[in-house]
Amino acid sequence: MEHDLKILPEYFEPVLEGKKNFELRKNDRNYKVGDTLLLREWYANKYTGREVRRKVTYILEKAVGIDTRYVILAMEEE
């Protein structure tokens, strides 16, 4: 499954540079390992045209200190 997601520039740039390999997201989409994240940069209430695709490799659920509705998605380049 592919998930089309908005991402702010301050989070998009480190993903693009390979420095950030995770996303903290509300688990309202039933994410699964193997899913694809289409991360589309969102700025000033519109898409900038920049985007990257990343594959979910691990899902951290019910982490101490994080609301149980949220997950941390580990990801890598496809």
> pLDDT at position 65, please?
93
State whether residue 53 is helix, strand or coil.
strand
Residue with tokens 């996303």: 23
> pLDDT at position 54, please?
98
Identify whether the C-beta of residue 28 lies closer than 8 Å to the C-beta of residue 62.
no
Q: Into how many domains does the chain fold?
A: 1
> pLDDT at position 20, please?
98
User: What tens digit of pLDDT does each residue of 9-68 get?
Assistant: 999 999 999 999 999 999 999 999 999 999 999 999 999 999 999 999 999 999 899 999
> pLDDT at position 16, please?
96
Tally of CB atoms within 10 A around 12: 21
* CATH number of 38's domain: 2.30.130.30
